[in-house]
């Protein structure tokens, strides 16, 4: 067995929660006298982050190198955190590398790897560079350039998969190819070191994040600053084009722009809110959830797929609950606005005459105002509770996890987070980072898939095509029909009601029926015009019930059309029609590839369809976010 220690993994204690991931970077040569202060500072940071995210489990990413990595991993375990360890090399080779120069450090590595709360794995290199045997790993570790490339790969994995980075650093920039200063810059600007092996997407700077710096002097180099060891500084991201990297020990408070601070706070709040919603409802069994996605006869699934399935099911259920509530409140708001308009018309047209003056009933006016205030209150409550963003974000997360699950099942190791919502680097970045946090560890899809026989591979691809591609095709066809019918129905009702209202007024204006003259009432006699007024129809003295009815019909028609536009039935029908067509074509293409026994081509179809689905879902998300929940007064 090549990697005996890497066969053992331990899932998080709460399999349905999306963790908040903290990464670690730092140098090796700590001063013994500073260790207690540094340990205390790291513990304070973990406690502060935990208090900010009460419903969100914390996970630490540490490469377990001598010095800073091992210290932070030990403190994290003492605080009850789970530790994931992306190693630059397999354990035996890593133990013999230059990352450890004392037997005590090597022993500490063995202790951490043997801890059941630590999940260790080799940080994956690009497929063309990933060794397949131990001898190749030894050659990589023996060559300076490739060794630095592996170190940068492990450090970059930590940076990209954590929401915040802890840096045990003296604040001094260095020329090291993959040192602490380079990783701090990577997290703050999105610019990876030159030796980092992966090609980053165009919007890789969207995954920037804050850096908790713990001032850590080096034992071998006199510190350039007089700051006390263990002093904490919080550095937020800065513009990618900024060349300067501020020293870490110059300020105790964050000096970065307010938006960067707000973005990280919003990320923690979104994760916390999402996890709180998940824990409020019972979890189904993992076997049932996987069966719904791949069928009851599915072979052994890749490690981590069951957890992703549970998260996808929980995210979808949370999105559905929030969407149903928003839909009900939308109907309530439109109903309140309609009733408010009716009450106002009653106030305007039902009155009593006292002499030459009309006396209106203030009660109906107050009813109208109360109904309007109630509508505004509902809208304000939706905004304060972030119900609509919750529904949209949970749906976006569920869709991302769906694609990741089927990619794993089809033997694809591609990461959804690399191609999903990259252009949205503000309030939606938490979704992409949540997908990364849910997919920690080595990609296991390809390994499990290659162990299947050719017949089993074909069957697995057919299963993915049936439960994903064909299932999504049928879903989008149903949704297209539902939204198209809803758009037609609400528009017809709106035009019909408004048309009847305007027709009544036109009929009144064009009628030639003359009404009998009626003596005006005595000045002192008050009477109700609707009860004692003229009989018949007249444009000069119209029946009040007719005015109320016609105007109410016009308002009801306008609200019906506004409701259809608010729900975006027509736009969604077009979107679902386009998606149904895409998935229908993908089903045919996948079937053709399987019939030719061309597994790589079939996987390419699934990969391309996943990316298309993610792109289209991002467009859907933008469409829905462009129509915020509001009172239909314009």
Tokens of 550: 């016609």
Partners of 351 in the beta sheet? 360
pLDDT at position 525 over 50? no
> Rounded to an integer, what distance in angstroms lies between the CA atom of residue 94 and that of residue 105?
12
| Confidence (pLDDT) at 247 | 47
Distances (CA, A) of 468 to 434, 471, 491, 588: 22, 5, 34, 13
In this predicted model, what pLDDT tens digit does every residue of 296-347 receive, in sequence order?
877 667 777 888 888 888 889 888 998 899 899 999 999 999 899 888 888 8
The lowest-confidence range among 69-83, 460-474, 477-491, 530-544 is: 530-544
| Confidence (pLDDT) at 227 | 66
Give 93's pLDDT tier (boundaries 50, 70, 90).
very high
- Can you give the C-alpha Rg of the chain in angstroms? 32
> Rounded to an integer, what distance in angstroms lies between the CA atom of residue 396 and that of residue 394?
5
> Rounded to an integer, what distance in angstroms lies between the CA atom of residue 192 and that of residue 462?
39
Question: Among candidates 417, 382, 393, 379, which has minimal Cα distance to 273?
Answer: 393
Give 549's pLDDT tier (boundaries 50, 70, 90).
confident
Q: What percent of the chain has pLDDT over 70?
A: 84
Give 446's pLDDT tier (boundaries 50, 70, 90).
confident
Which of 5-14, 293-302, 531-540 shows the highest mean pLDDT? 293-302
Partners of 26 in the beta sheet? 168
> Rounded to an integer, what distance in angstroms lies between the CA atom of residue 593 and that of residue 602?
5
| Confidence (pLDDT) at 515 | 44
HEC letters along 182-211? HHHHHHHHCCCCCCCCCCCCCCHHHHCCCE
pTM: 0.82
245 and 181 in contact (C-beta within 8 Å)? yes
Q: What is the mean pLDDT of residues 238-260?
A: 51
Q: What percent of the chain has pLDDT over 90?
A: 34
> Rounded to an integer, what distance in angstroms lies between the CA atom of residue 335 and that of residue 340?
8
Question: Among candidates 213, 218, 267, which has minimal Cα distance to 245?
Answer: 213
DSSP symbol at 4: G
pLDDT at position 243 over 60? no
| Confidence (pLDDT) at 252 | 40
* Domain segments of the chain as ranges: 4-278, 288-514+527-625
Instruction: Describe the strand order of the beta sheet including 351-354 as a list of residue ranges.
Output: 357-360, 351-354, 527-528
Tokens of 303: 């490690």
Q: What is the mean pLDDT of residues 269-280?
A: 83
Q: Tell which wins on pLDDT, 624 or 1.
A: 624
Tokens of 433: 């980072």
In this predicted model, what pLDDT tens digit does every residue of 379-422 receive, in sequence order?
898 888 888 888 888 888 899 899 999 998 888 888 888 767 65
The DSSP H or E segment spanning 359 is strand 357-360
> Rounded to an integer, what distance in angstroms lies between the CA atom of residue 431 and that of residue 522?
73
> Rounded to an integer, what distance in angstroms lies between the CA atom of residue 532 and that of residue 553?
25
Q: What is the mean pLDDT of residues 497-523?
A: 65
pLDDT at position 542 over 50? yes
Location of structure tokens 């990320």: 267
DSSP symbol at 513: P
Q: Which residues contact 38 (CB under 8 A, 6 or more apart)?
A: 30, 71, 168, 214, 216, 229, 230
Dihedral Cα 348, 350, 352, 353, nearest 10 deg: 60
| Confidence (pLDDT) at 153 | 93
Instruction: State the DSSP string of 139-154.
Output: HHHHSHHHHHHHHHHH
Instruction: Describe the strand order of the beta sheet including 164-169 as a list of residue ranges.
Output: 118-122, 82-87, 58-61, 20-26, 164-169, 211-215, 232-235
Instruction: State the DSSP string of 69-132.
Output: HHHHHHHHHHTT-EEEEEESS-HHHHHTSTT--SHHHHHHHHHHHHSTTEEEEEPPPPTTT--S
| Confidence (pLDDT) at 474 | 95
Q: What is the mean pLDDT of residues 572-601?
A: 92
Location of structure tokens 């066969």: 7
Residue 302 has, within 13 A of its CA and on its CB side, a CA count of: 27
Q: What is the mean pLDDT of residues 232-248?
A: 65
| Confidence (pLDDT) at 421 | 62
> Rounded to an integer, what distance in angstroms lies between the CA atom of residue 335 and that of residue 559?
9
Tokens of 321: 């609950």
Give 38's pLDDT tier (boundaries 50, 70, 90).
very high
HEC letters along 483-511? HHHHHHHHHHHHHHHHHHHHHHHHHHHHC
> Rounded to an integer, what distance in angstroms lies between the CA atom of residue 602 and that of residue 377?
52
| Confidence (pLDDT) at 113 | 95
Q: What is the mean pLDDT of residues 366-371?
A: 90
CA 308 to chain centre: 14
Distances (CA, A) of 469 to 62, 83, 175, 591: 38, 36, 49, 11
| Confidence (pLDDT) at 422 | 58
In this predicted model, what pLDDT tens digit does every residue of 161-206 receive, in sequence order?
999 999 999 888 887 888 899 999 999 888 888 899 888 765 566 6
Residue 356 has, within 13 A of its CA and on its CB side, a CA count of: 0
22 and 166 in contact (C-beta within 8 Å)? yes
Distances (CA, A) of 191 to 5, 207, 242, 296: 33, 10, 11, 45
């Amino acid at each position: 067995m090549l990697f005996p220690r890497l066969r053992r993994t331990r899932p998080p204690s709460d399999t349905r929660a999306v963790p908040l991931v903290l990464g670690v970077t730092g140098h090796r040569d700590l001063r013994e006298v500073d260790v207690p202060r540094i340990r205390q500072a790291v513990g304070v940071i973990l406690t502060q982050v935990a208090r900010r995210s009460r419903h969100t489990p914390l996970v630490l990413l540490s490469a377990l190198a001598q010095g800073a990595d091992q210290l932070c991993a030990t403190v994290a375990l003492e605080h009850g955190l789970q530790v994931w360890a992306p190693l630059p090399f397999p354990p035996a080779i890593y133990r013999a590398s230059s990352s450890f120069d004392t037997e005590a450090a090597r022993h500490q590595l063995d202790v951490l790897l043997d801890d059941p709360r630590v999940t260790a794995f080799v940080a994956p290199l690009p497929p063309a560079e990933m060794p397949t045997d131990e001898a190749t790993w030894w050659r990589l570790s023996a060559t300076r350039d490739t060794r630095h490339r592996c170190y940068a790969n492990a450090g970059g994995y930590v940076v990209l998969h954590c929401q915040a980075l802890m840096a045990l650093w003296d604040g001094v920039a260095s020329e090291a190819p993959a040192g602490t200063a380079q990783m701090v810059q990577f997290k703050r600007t999105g610019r990876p070191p030159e030796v980092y092996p992966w090609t980053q997407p165009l919007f890789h700077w969207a995954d920037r994040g804050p850096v908790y710096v713990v001032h850590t002097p080096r034992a071998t180099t006199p510190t350039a600053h007089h700051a006390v060891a263990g002093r904490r500084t919080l550095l937020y991201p800065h513009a990618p084009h900024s060349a300067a990297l501020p020293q870490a020990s110059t300020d105790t408070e964050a000096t970065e722009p307010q938006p960067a601070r707000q973005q990280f706070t919003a990320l923690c709040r979104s994760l916390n809110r999402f996890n709180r919603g998940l824990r409020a409802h019972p979890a189904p069994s993992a076997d049932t959830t996987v069966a719904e996605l791949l069928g009851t006869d599915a072979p052994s699934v890749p490690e981590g797929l069951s957890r992703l399935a549970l998260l996808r099911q929980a995210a979808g259920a949370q999105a559905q609950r929030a969407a149903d509530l928003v839909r009900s409140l939308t109907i309530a708001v439109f109903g309140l606005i309609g009733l408010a308009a009716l009450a106002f018309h009653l106030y305007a047209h039902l009155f009593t005459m006292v002499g030459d003056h009309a006396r209106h009933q203030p009660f109906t006016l107050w009813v109208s105002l109360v109904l309007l205030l109630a509508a505004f209150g509902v809208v304000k409550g939706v905004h304060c509770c972030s119900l609509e963003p919750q529904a949209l974000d949970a749906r976006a997360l569920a869709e991302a996890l769906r694609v990741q699950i089927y990619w794993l099942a089809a033997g694809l190791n591609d990461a959804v987070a690399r191609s999903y919502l990259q252009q949205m680097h503000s309030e939606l970045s938490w979704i992409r980072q949540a997908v990364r946090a849910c997919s920690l560890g080595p990609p296991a899809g390809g390994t499990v898939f290659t162990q299947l026989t050719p017949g089993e591979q074909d069957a697995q691809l057919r299963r993915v095509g049936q439960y994903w591609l064909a299932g999504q095709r049928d879903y989008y066809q149903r949704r297209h029909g539902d939204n198209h019918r809803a758009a037609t129905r609400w528009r017809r009702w709106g035009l019909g009601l408004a048309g009847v209202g305007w027709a009544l007024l036109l009929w009144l204006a064009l009628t030639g029926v003359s009404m009998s003259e009626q003596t005006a009432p005595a000045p002192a006699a008050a009477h109700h015009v609707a009860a004692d007024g003229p009989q018949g129809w007249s444009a000069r003295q119209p029946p009040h019930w007719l005015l109320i009815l016609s105007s109410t019909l016009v308002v009801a028609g306008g609200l019906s059309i506004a409701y259809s536009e608010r729900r975006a039935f027509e736009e969604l029908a077009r979107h679902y029609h386009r998606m149904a067509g895409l998935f229908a074509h993908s089903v045919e293409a996948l079937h053709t590839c399987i019939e030719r026994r061309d597994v790589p081509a079939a996987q390419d179809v699934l990969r391309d369809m996943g990316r298309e689905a993610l792109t289209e879902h991002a467009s859907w998300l933008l469409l829905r976010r462009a129509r915020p929940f509001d009172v239909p007064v314009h």
